[in-house]
Protein backbone atom coordinates (compact mmCIF):
# COMPACT_ATOMS: atom_id res chain seq x y z
CA UNK A 1 0.00 0.00 0.00
CA UNK A 2 3.01 2.32 0.52
CA UNK A 3 5.34 2.86 -2.48
CA UNK A 4 8.63 0.94 -2.23
CA UNK A 5 10.80 4.01 -2.81
CA UNK A 6 9.75 5.86 0.36
CA UNK A 7 12.50 5.98 3.00
CA UNK A 8 12.09 6.93 6.63
CA UNK A 9 15.30 8.62 7.73
CA UNK A 10 16.73 9.53 11.10
CA UNK A 11 15.98 13.19 10.33
CA UNK A 12 12.32 12.44 9.66
CA UNK A 13 12.05 10.53 12.95
CA UNK A 14 13.68 13.37 14.91
CA UNK A 15 11.26 15.87 13.37
CA UNK A 16 8.37 13.56 14.22
CA UNK A 17 9.64 13.23 17.79
CA UNK A 18 9.74 17.02 18.15
CA UNK A 19 6.21 17.27 16.77
CA UNK A 20 4.88 14.60 19.14
CA UNK A 21 6.73 16.19 22.08
CA UNK A 22 5.07 19.55 21.48
CA UNK A 23 1.63 17.96 21.13
CA UNK A 24 2.25 15.82 24.24
CA UNK A 25 3.20 18.79 26.40
CA UNK A 26 0.01 20.61 25.40
CA UNK A 27 -2.19 17.52 25.83
CA UNK A 28 -0.76 16.50 29.19
CA UNK A 29 -1.09 20.05 30.54
CA UNK A 30 -4.73 20.17 29.43
CA UNK A 31 -5.48 16.69 30.77
CA UNK A 32 -3.88 17.40 34.16
CA UNK A 33 -5.94 20.57 34.48
CA UNK A 34 -9.26 18.85 33.81
CA UNK A 35 -8.93 15.24 34.93
CA UNK A 36 -8.65 14.63 38.65
CA UNK A 37 -7.47 11.51 40.47
CA UNK A 38 -11.09 10.57 41.25
CA UNK A 39 -11.99 10.88 37.57
CA UNK A 40 -9.18 8.55 36.58
CA UNK A 41 -10.25 6.09 39.25
CA UNK A 42 -13.87 6.18 38.06
CA UNK A 43 -12.95 5.75 34.36
CA UNK A 44 -11.11 2.45 34.88
CA UNK A 45 -13.10 0.02 32.73
CA UNK A 46 -14.24 2.57 30.17
CA UNK A 47 -10.59 3.52 29.66
CA UNK A 48 -9.55 -0.13 29.27
CA UNK A 49 -12.34 -0.78 26.76
CA UNK A 50 -11.55 2.35 24.77
CA UNK A 51 -7.86 1.44 24.70
CA UNK A 52 -8.68 -2.05 23.42
CA UNK A 53 -10.77 -0.60 20.61
CA UNK A 54 -8.28 2.18 19.83
CA UNK A 55 -5.26 -0.11 19.56
CA UNK A 56 -7.25 -2.76 17.68
CA UNK A 57 -8.22 -0.14 15.07
CA UNK A 58 -4.77 1.50 15.05
CA UNK A 59 -2.89 -1.75 14.52
CA UNK A 60 -5.60 -3.12 12.26
CA UNK A 61 -5.19 -0.19 9.90
CA UNK A 62 -1.48 0.55 10.27
CA UNK A 63 0.08 -2.88 10.74
CA UNK A 64 -2.29 -5.12 8.84
CA UNK A 65 -3.24 -2.81 5.98
CA UNK A 66 -1.14 0.32 5.36
CA UNK A 67 2.37 -0.80 6.32
CA UNK A 68 2.16 -4.60 6.11
CA UNK A 69 3.97 -5.02 2.80
CA UNK A 70 6.52 -2.25 3.31
CA UNK A 71 7.43 -2.87 6.98
CA UNK A 72 5.73 -5.47 9.12
CA UNK A 73 5.86 -8.39 6.68
CA UNK A 74 9.65 -8.29 7.14
CA UNK A 75 9.46 -8.93 10.88
CA UNK A 76 6.26 -10.91 11.45
CA UNK A 77 5.13 -14.21 9.91
CA UNK A 78 2.30 -13.84 7.37
CA UNK A 79 -0.16 -15.75 9.55
CA UNK A 80 0.04 -13.00 12.21
CA UNK A 81 -1.21 -10.24 9.92
CA UNK A 82 -4.81 -10.44 11.13
CA UNK A 83 -4.01 -11.74 14.61
CA UNK A 84 -1.87 -8.72 15.57
CA UNK A 85 -4.74 -6.16 15.77
CA UNK A 86 -6.95 -8.02 18.28
CA UNK A 87 -3.92 -9.34 20.15
CA UNK A 88 -2.36 -5.89 20.45
CA UNK A 89 -5.75 -4.41 21.36
CA UNK A 90 -5.97 -6.90 24.23
CA UNK A 91 -2.33 -6.62 25.34
CA UNK A 92 -2.17 -2.83 25.15
CA UNK A 93 -5.45 -2.44 27.05
CA UNK A 94 -4.19 -4.77 29.78
CA UNK A 95 -0.97 -2.77 29.96
CA UNK A 96 -3.19 0.32 30.17
CA UNK A 97 -5.04 -1.27 33.09
CA UNK A 98 -1.75 -1.92 34.85
CA UNK A 99 -0.56 1.64 34.16
CA UNK A 100 -3.92 2.96 35.43
CA UNK A 101 -3.31 1.12 38.70
CA UNK A 102 0.34 2.18 38.86
CA UNK A 103 -0.48 5.83 38.11
CA UNK A 104 -2.90 5.87 41.04
CA UNK A 105 -0.29 4.38 43.39
CA UNK A 106 2.84 6.42 42.67
CA UNK A 107 3.28 9.73 44.49
CA UNK A 108 3.08 12.07 41.48
CA UNK A 109 0.24 13.39 39.35
CA UNK A 110 -1.63 10.27 38.18
CA UNK A 111 -2.67 11.80 34.86
CA UNK A 112 0.86 12.81 33.86
CA UNK A 113 2.10 9.46 35.18
CA UNK A 114 -0.39 7.47 33.11
CA UNK A 115 0.59 9.32 29.93
CA UNK A 116 4.32 9.03 30.68
CA UNK A 117 4.00 5.32 31.36
CA UNK A 118 2.48 5.04 27.88
CA UNK A 119 5.73 6.51 26.57
CA UNK A 120 7.69 3.89 28.49
CA UNK A 121 5.54 1.20 26.84
CA UNK A 122 6.25 2.71 23.41
CA UNK A 123 9.97 2.66 24.14
CA UNK A 124 9.78 -0.96 25.33
CA UNK A 125 7.77 -2.23 22.36
CA UNK A 126 10.11 -0.53 19.94
CA UNK A 127 13.22 -1.97 21.61
CA UNK A 128 11.63 -5.36 20.93
CA UNK A 129 10.80 -4.34 17.34
CA UNK A 130 14.40 -3.23 16.75
CA UNK A 131 15.61 -6.53 18.18
CA UNK A 132 13.28 -8.31 15.69
CA UNK A 133 14.92 -6.34 12.86
CA UNK A 134 12.44 -3.57 12.13
CA UNK A 135 15.26 -1.14 11.27
CA UNK A 136 17.39 -3.66 9.37
CA UNK A 137 15.01 -5.78 7.29
CA UNK A 138 12.47 -3.40 5.71
CA UNK A 139 14.16 -1.20 3.07
CA UNK A 140 11.84 1.65 4.09
CA UNK A 141 13.45 1.90 7.56
CA UNK A 142 17.09 1.04 6.86
CA UNK A 143 18.15 4.71 6.96
CA UNK A 144 16.75 5.28 10.46
CA UNK A 145 18.82 5.20 13.63
CA UNK A 146 17.68 3.18 16.65
CA UNK A 147 17.85 6.17 19.01
CA UNK A 148 15.62 8.30 16.77
CA UNK A 149 13.16 5.39 16.41
CA UNK A 150 13.02 4.90 20.17
CA UNK A 151 12.63 8.62 20.80
CA UNK A 152 9.72 9.07 18.42
CA UNK A 153 8.10 5.88 19.75
CA UNK A 154 8.24 7.22 23.30
CA UNK A 155 6.52 10.48 22.44
CA UNK A 156 4.15 8.85 19.95
CA UNK A 157 2.89 6.52 22.69
CA UNK A 158 2.52 9.37 25.18
CA UNK A 159 0.25 10.87 22.53
CA UNK A 160 -1.73 7.61 22.18
CA UNK A 161 -2.16 7.25 25.94
CA UNK A 162 -3.15 10.94 26.24
CA UNK A 163 -5.64 10.57 23.41
CA UNK A 164 -7.21 7.50 25.01
CA UNK A 165 -7.40 9.21 28.39
CA UNK A 166 -8.83 12.43 26.94
CA UNK A 167 -11.43 10.66 24.83
CA UNK A 168 -12.49 8.48 27.74
CA UNK A 169 -12.79 11.56 29.97
CA UNK A 170 -15.00 13.33 27.41
CA UNK A 171 -17.14 10.21 27.14
CA UNK A 172 -17.33 9.99 30.94
CA UNK A 173 -18.40 13.65 31.24
CA UNK A 174 -21.13 13.15 28.63
CA UNK A 175 -22.27 9.94 30.32
CA UNK A 176 -22.54 11.67 33.71
CA UNK A 177 -24.37 14.62 32.18
CA UNK A 178 -26.96 12.28 30.63
CA UNK A 179 -27.35 10.42 33.94
CA UNK A 180 -27.89 13.69 35.79
CA UNK A 181 -30.53 14.78 33.29
CA UNK A 182 -32.39 11.51 33.74
CA UNK A 183 -32.39 11.98 37.52
CA UNK A 184 -33.76 15.54 37.38
Please give the chain's pLDDT, 184 residues, in tens.
677 778 999 999 999 999 999 999 999 999 999 999 999 999 999 999 999 999 999 998 888 899 999 999 999 999 999 999 999 999 999 999 999 999 999 999 999 999 999 999 999 999 999 999 999 999 999 999 999 999 999 999 999 999 999 999 999 999 999 998 888 6
Q: Is residue 3 part of a domain?
A: no
Instruction: Give the separation between CA 34 and CA 169, rounded to whole angstroms.
Output: 9
Q: State if pTM tops 0.85.
A: yes
For residue 3, the SS3 value is coil
> pLDDT value at position 182?
86
79 contacts: CB under 8 Å, gap ≥ 6: none
For residue 151, the SS3 value is helix
> pLDDT value at position 1?
64
Q: Is residue 57 part of a domain?
A: yes
- Count of domains forming the chain: 1
Q: Is residue 110 part of a domain?
A: yes
Q: Is residue 119 part of a domain?
A: yes
Q: Is residue 49 part of a domain?
A: yes
DSSP symbol at 43: T
- Taking alpha carbons only, the member of 73, 172, 184, 173 closest to residue 132 is 73
Domain enclosing residue 108, as ranges:
10-179
Amino acid sequence: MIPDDIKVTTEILWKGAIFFTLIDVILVIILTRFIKREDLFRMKWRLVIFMALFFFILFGSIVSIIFWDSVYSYVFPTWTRWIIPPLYGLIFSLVGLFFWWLALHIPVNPIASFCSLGGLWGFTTHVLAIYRGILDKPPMLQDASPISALTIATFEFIFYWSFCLGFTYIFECLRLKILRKKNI
